[in-house]
Amino acid sequence: MNPSVLAVHASGIHTMSKAALPSITLVEGFGVKGDAHSGATVKHRSRVRRDATRPNLRQVHLIHSELFDELREKGFDVEPGMMGENITTTGIDLLSLPTGAYLKIGDRAVVELTGLRDPCTQLDGLIPGLMKAVLDRDADGELIRKTGVMGIAVGDGEVRPGDRIRVELPSGVQLPLLPV
């Protein structure tokens, strides 16, 4: 399957779920135009309380649609945008990509991956038990966070459902994504 965009979302206010849109615009160094989490410095409320001057490594949130299929099999009725992502993808294993990978989306938009989304208990406010359902353990007992990846906009451009996604891996040592 060719990696592509399934859906796009944004919200101008801090809310868990985001509305589906026909397109979103990525602004280099800022994130998703009109989204409450865009900006050069942190915008997620928990991070603002810690240090509002820190760089915003969470400008763009992407979740793979295959997670929704997995959750539906477990009895959770989850749809794109419910867990707050800006871009819902299909056909790409986001969680296996390294830190610093570039996602070239559509004609011009580019997102540089900065880390994993660390799921929060607000997920249980959507559907009781959802927080536990998006966490797993690997063979070594290490925690697996499944709620997608975070990135920064490094190339301006419009993103629409159906846009192709091309992955460019960083040169040199490739480091795994860690929670940001």
Give how far the C-alpha of residue 28 lies from the chain's centroid of Cα atoms, to the nearest Å: 16
pLDDT of 1 above 70 = no
**Superfamily name and number for 4-168:** PK beta-barrel domain-like (2.40.33.20)
pLDDT band at residue 47, thresholds of 50, 70 and 90? confident
Q: What is the reported pLDDT for 44?
A: 84
Between strands 31-32 and 143-145, the pairing is unpaired
CA distance 25 to 106: 11
Please spell the DSSP secondary structure of 152-168, one letter per residue. Answer: EEEE-EEE-TT-BEEEE
pLDDT of 13 above 80 = yes
pTM above 0.95, yes or no: yes
pLDDT of 115-158, one tens digit each?
A: 999 998 999 999 999 999 999 999 999 999 999 999 999 999 99
